[in-house]
Structure 1
Amino acid sequence: MEAITGYPPVALLVSVVLVGTWLLVTVVRYVRADKGTRVSMRQAVRVRWGWVRLARMAKLTVTDKTPSLLAQITAQKDGPGPAPRVLTPKIKVKPDQYGVIVRARTLPQVGLEEYQKSARFLADAWRCTRVSVLPDGPGKVVIRGVRSDPLTTPTEHRPTGHPPTDLTRWELGVDEYAARVCVSLANVPGVTVAGVPGAGKTSGVNKFVCDFAPSPSVQIATVDGKVSRASEGDYADLVKRMFAFCGDDLDEANALFKRLVELRKRRSATIRDVLGVKNMWHVGPSPEWPLTVLIIDEAHTFFREYKGSDAETKRLAALTAENARLVEDLVKKGRSVGILVILISQKTTGDAIPTFIRDVCPIGLSFAQKTVEAAVAALGEDIRNWPDASPVTLQDPAYVGVAVMAMQGRPGYTRIRTPYVSDADAARVADATSHLTADPDLCLDALLRSTGRTAPPAPSLTK
């Protein structure tokens, strides 16, 4: 009897210790959190405490008239039957910098569609800018409520300097619900990036270079139509990590395009014997066979049509026509051998980037645009049916760094906040990874020699 009576004090003590520990952990998390997350933590408490009442008002509950087994056992034989039960979906709430993520269960007659219909009501009740509802597996939904708009909240990205774990994933930024947006680069031959000057095009590409620079399995060449020398312009801090760079000189650009086409031909001729596959993406990039990325900034500089009868104009016209043919070769035939072309231009209309190149690129991003026609050229005719997502609406300075793209598996178009990478961070990454820079032609020569094959010497390439 004494042992039994001694249990309640011990149980009470254990309960007090557990509750105290939980409160201490919560307070520490709250103190260490940033200002936005603290507000979201308080918001999460309100969401939990008010969920039962809110679910009933939002018609997200179900009345179960069948009594439970316990109710059937305890019910009196001649008395009234058990009252119907009101079932409320169970939820789990997680706060973050922008708002809350609520994971909820579904019930009979309360599924994904019912949650989506109540999204606007939930946004008002939770004081959110917008709420989205997406499936989260069988019998589950995830409700994302953002209190502050991620699209108008500038973000910065500090590169870690570590090689990416997956070379097929390009992390672009966050969407309007603060969810991370990634696109797959596997089997992608080309990417187009459009937008008015100062909208964030080059900054987005700088992040790509900084994220992939620590990997020896990625090699980058750049053609920049805005500058004349490597020490100028947006890529001056990154040129150390590029195996080739040229400015607005059409002859130099033409020589680089020819060199990469020759690399494409050599890879196409040897890929089966060397890698044992027809498609490089079946085994992935490697230091011996790196993913070779060609960035063409201000692409219209190298494809424009020159009109005139004098000898120099005719020469330039023939040169830009050949440039278009060479880049078309890379985009249409370079996918399986690991060559990716990123074309950047203010407008991706047919006079800036030939349609036989532009329309082959499966990924298209558009930052702010001034005209609907420019938006259509960058994203396709379907953008006319989604006026709220059109890049024409991004001309406000608050949207600098925000792009629009069509995402696979999502209806319509997604708006993405791309983070800013400082010049100091870009220079730091380029300096730390410059020793990884290698000419893909020389890499192929070394790989062929290691496998006992011979190959003609690669022509020299000057930065």
Structure 2
Amino acid sequence: MKDNDPTGGAFGYGPLAVGLGLAVLVGWSVWWVVRYLRADAMTRQSIRQAVRVRRTWKRLAQMLKLCATDKMPTPLASLANTDGKPVKPRILVPALKVTHDAYGVIARAACLPGVGLEQYQKAAPHLADAWRCTRVAVTQDKPGHVVIRGVRLDPLKFPTEHRPTGTVPEKVARLDLGVDEYASPVSVDLRHVPGMTVGGLPGKGKTSLINKLLSDWAPAPWVQFAGADGKVSAAYEGDYADWIQRMFAFVGDDLEEANRLFKRLVHLRRVRSMLVRDVLGVKSMWDVGPSEKWPLVVLIIDEAHTYFRDHKGSDRETKHLAALSAENARLVEDLVKKGRSVGILVILATQKTTGDAIPTFIRDVCPVGLSFAQKTAEAAVAALGEDIRDWPDANPINLQDPAYVGVASMNHQSQPGFTRIRTPYVPDEWAAEIAHTTAHLSADPADLLPSVDLTKTDPDDGVSLSPAAA
């Protein structure tokens, strides 16, 4: 009888299909509940927020005019229209996919005719109110799609820690700064960058940012570090005591020692410029990238104003200090203006990046600048340029609250205007561990160069390429 069943046993498979569907539904429900229960309190709130966003989207999109009206009937509607009355226009609501994280929701929406990026951006404040978010940002995801980022909690007010991995960075000379005010990762590409300035009040995050760069880059054999810390007299006294073992040179606040270090690096720059074509076969080191034999040289000058201060006085000692400061400025200017193509990066940190702290002929040719909290508008403008006046929300004078320790403002390379960034803190013991395990990688870049006829360089610069010169 079964062989003669015209239905082919279709009704026999019905209960099986229903059972399978119920099993999938139950499995998905259990997975969702387990994920919800295992999440922390902040993430649970975001999960509930995402559910609410999905549930209310169709109504909200129409209220905010983020939908389109299609008056052209579909072929099926035209065939079904037998009474001759006009077909009712269709309301097209953009498709929305919502995910969540600890800070809020990330929604991806489609664009429609007449409803694009501009319309979503205009609706952002109203979306923030409806979704109960602190702020909402809308950016282009890909042609025809936008990303709507809503944060319920301000990521800038939550201090974070960074545990260095001890592995070689995947991308050369990329500095991961932290997260912006929408909890999106922010990084800066320091390839082809001759100089970077970091400003801010004491204790607001300058040295911590440099500590993170050292921790992340130290495992790479293609980078070598030199340091000058203007707030200490000896290496063991300061923030870089553990990093001395990973640096090929270091000086404190002694202007003569700093002068010798800067001369040494300028001479290295000159010799590299003379050898770059013969050794690398290119005009710029960045055409092939840094290597163990031709590493990126990073000079860190902390409390930079110590080395450039304009000493006033007519006595012999003051005149000598003034001459050293002027020469230091000239030497660092040489490194910043001419060192990019041969792989030299100078990072200058100071409290106020005004012209008396970092001479403008150095500061203004550093394409990357960050500023932690500042007390005056003058200091903010010196650190970030005149345009910061047009971005009051990102002005570093608003970062003086203790909750914003570790938060900096910067003009990012990939977007207009200014953004605020929460930089993570690297505990000293973690940094010391990285410094110890990577100490064997330290090498004097001059020792890695082939022999060169030094008579072709300036014989009057009084600089030796030997380590003793530092």
TM-score interval for Structure 1 and Structure 2 normalised by the shorter chain? over 0.9
Matched residue, 2:97:
92
Residue type of the alignment partner of 1:383 = I
Contact 2:224–2:298 (8 Å) recurs in 1 = yes
Distance 2:105 2:414 in 1: 23
For the residues of structure 2 that align with 1:111 and 1:355, how far apart are their CA atoms?
A: 43
The one of 60, 65, 79 equivalent to 1:59 is 65
Tell me the residue number matched to 2:307.
302
Is the contact between residue 260 and residue 469 of structure 2 (CA under 8 Å) also seen in structure 1?
Answer: no
Shift of residue 262 of structure 1? 0.9
Q: State the AA in 1 paired with 2:49.
A: Q
Inter-partner Cα distance in structure 1 for 2:439 and 2:401: 37
CA distance in 2, matches of 1:101, 1:239: 43
CA contact (8 A) 1:256 1:461 kept: no
1:257 and 2:274 equivalent? no
> 107, 113, 131: which is aligned to 2:112?
107
User: How far apart are 1:372 and its partner, in Å?
Assistant: 0.3
> Any idea what SS the aligned residue of 1:238 has?
helix
Deviation at 1:454, TM superposition (A): 7.4
Q: Which one-letter code corresponds to 2:57 in the other structure?
A: W
The more displaced of 61-70 and 337-346 is: 61-70
Q: In structure 2, what is the Cα distance between the partners aligned to 1:415 and 1:142?
A: 19
More moved, 62-71 vs 282-291 = 62-71
Pairing of 1:358-373 with structure 2 (within 5 A)? 358-373=363-378
Q: For residues 215-274 of structure 1, give each alpha carbon's deviation from its aligned partner in whole angstroms, at most 9, with x where no partner exists.
A: 010111110011111111211222221111111111111111111111101110000111
C-alpha separation between the residues in 2 aligned to 1:113 and 1:22? Answer: 37
Q: How high is the sequence identity, in percent, across the aligned residues? A: 65
Report deviation, 1:2: 5.9
Give the equivalent residue in structure 1 for 2:136.
131
Q: For residue 165 of structure 2, what is the amino acid of its counterpart?
A: T
Q: Secondary structure at the match of 2:322?
A: helix
Partner of 1:323: 328
Query: Which amino acid in 2 is paired with 1:26?
Result: W
Contact persistence 2:408–2:423 (CA under 8 A): yes
Q: Is residue 10 of structure 2 the alignment partner of residue 10 of structure 1? A: no
Q: What is the CA–CA distance in structure 2 between the aligned matches of 1:125 and 1:462, rounded to whole Å?
A: 65
Amino acid in structure 1 at the alignment position of 2:34: V
Q: Which residue of 376, 387, 396 maps to 2:401?
A: 396
Distance verdict in 2 for CA 1:84–1:169, change over 3 Å:
same
- Structure 2's unaligned 5+ residue stretches are 1-6, 456-463
Change beyond 3 A, Cα 1:461–1:147: farther
Q: CA RMSD in A?
A: 1.6
Partner of 2:429: 424
Task: Please state how far the C-alpha of 1:458 moved relative to its aligned partner.
Answer: 3.3
In structure 2, the residue matched to 1:247 is 252
Q: In the aligned structure 1, how far is the partner of 2:407 from the partner of 2:372?
A: 6
Give the counterpart of 2:193 among 185, 188, 191: 188
Compute the displacement of 1:26 (Å): 2.1
* 1:459 match: 466
Q: Which of the numbers 147, 167, 174 marks the counterpart of 1:162? A: 167
TM-superposed deviation, 1:58? 1.0
Alignment partner of 1:313 is 2:311 = no
TM-score by length of 1: 0.95
Match of 2:442 in 1: 437
Q: 2-side partners of 1:347 and 1:382: how far apart?
A: 17
Mapped partners of 1:289, 1:23: distance in 2: 57
Contact conserved, 2:66 with 2:120, CA < 8 A, in 1? yes
Unaligned runs of 5+ in 1: none
Equivalent residue letter for 2:235: A
CA shift in 2, pair 1:355/1:338, >3 Å: same
Equivalent in the alignment of 1:383: 388
8 Å CA contact retained: 1:368, 1:394: yes
1:405 is aligned, of 407, 410, 416, to 410
Structure 2 residue 206 is matched with structure 1 residue 213? no
Matched, 1:415 2:417: no
Q: C-alpha displacement at 1:79, in angstroms? A: 4.2
2: CA distance between counterparts of 1:298 and 1:177? 31
**Partner secondary structure for residue 439 of structure 2:** helix
Task: Give per-residue Cα distances to partners, 1:78-103, cap 9 Å, x unaligned.
Answer: 34333211100001111011111100
Equivalent pair of 2:177/2:421 in contact (CA under 8 Å): yes
Q: Report the count of equivalent residues.
A: 456
CA shift digits 1:130-187 (9 cap, x unpaired): 0001111111110000010011111111111111110132111111111111111111
TM-score for the superposition, normalised by structure 2: 0.94
Q: Is the contact between residue 365 and residue 405 of structure 1 (CA under 8 Å) also seen in structure 2?
A: yes
1:176 is aligned to 181
> In structure 2, do the counterparts of structure 1 residues 317 and 455 end up closer, same or farther at CA, with 3 Å as the change threshold?
closer
Which secondary structure state, in structure 1, belongs to the residue aligned with residue 102 of structure 2? coil
Q: How much has 1:28 moved relative to structure 2?
A: 3.2
Matching of residue 234 in structure 1 with residue 239 in structure 2: yes
Tell me the residue number matched to 1:202. 207
Q: What is the one-letter code of the residue matched to 1:83?
A: K
